């Protein structure tokens, strides 16, 4: 099952104000470390989960992971987590030492709010890596998670998103990096 291209183009667009973008789309890659490395992929969205996509991942996907194995998880999300989800991510990472989480975001949600900045910093202190998606990340999501349409290309879209991201301040108040570290 793949994301419709129209949802990807609308929901992952890096805009300052997310008018009409009241869902989070979360594409995930789970790399299981062990005798045999296994990679699995999928996506979640708020509507299908009856919860925020981040919480849905912890409620439906994470329980399938064995505590004896190590997991490197990468999320490609349309928007960075809200404060409540950021707190849950922090709590989950602190409880699950076998879990490494990298979150690649299309745009930062309420990034100017002090409460949001504090929540993102707590996520970082718990070991979460948070990054603004670069053109190659948009391209990866396009190739691996989005329904392909005849003649469609993600490059122009990805470049446009990256230019907008670089013109914004990041969570730490510096310009040009688009990272919460």
- From 36, 47, 54, 91, active-site residue: 54
Cβ–Cβ under 8 Å, residues 115 and 83: yes
Only one residue has tokens 């490609």, namely 76
Output the tens digit of pLDDT for each of the chain's 181 residues. 666 666 655 555 565 555 544 667 788 999 998 777 888 888 887 765 567 888 888 888 888 888 888 999 999 988 888 888 899 999 999 999 999 999 998 877 766 778 888 998 999 999 999 998 888 887 888 788 877 765 555 555 555 555 555 554 443 333 333 444 4
Cα 121 from Cα 89, distance rounded (Å) = 12
| Catalytic status, residue 54 | yes
Question: Which helix or strand (DSSP H or E) is residue 87 part of?
Answer: helix 83-95
Give domain 5-166's CATH architecture.
3-Layer(aba) Sandwich (3.40)
Q: How far apart are CA 38 and CA 138, in angstroms?
A: 23
- Spell out the domain ranges in the chain: 5-166
Whether the model clears a pTM of 0.85, i.e. scores above it, the answer is no
Instruction: Pick the closest to residue 156 from 144, 171, 170, 138 (CA basis).
Output: 138
């Amino acid at each position: 099952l793949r994301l419709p291209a129209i949802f990807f183009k609308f929901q992952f667009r890096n805009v300052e104000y997310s008018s009409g973008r009241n869902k989070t789309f979360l594409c995930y890659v789970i790399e299981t470390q062990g005798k045999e490395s296994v990679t699995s992929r999928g996506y979640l969205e708020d509507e299908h989960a009856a919860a925020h996509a981040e919480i849905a991942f912890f409620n439906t996907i994470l329980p399938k992971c064995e505590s004896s194995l190590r997991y490197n998880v990468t999320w490609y999300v349309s928007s960075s987590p809200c404060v409540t989800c950021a707190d849950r991510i922090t709590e989950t990472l602190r409880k699950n030492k076998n879990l490494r989480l990298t979150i690649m975001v299309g745009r930062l949600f309420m990034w100017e709010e002090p409460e949001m900045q504090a929540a993102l910093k707590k996520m970082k202190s718990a070991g979460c890596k948070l990054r603004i998606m670069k053109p190659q990340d948009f391209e990866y999501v396009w190739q691996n998670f989005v329904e392909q349409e005849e003649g469609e290309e993600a490059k122009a879209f990805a470049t446009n998103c990256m230019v907008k991201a670089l013109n914004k301040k990041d969570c730490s108040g510096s310009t040009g990096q688009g990272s919460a570290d």
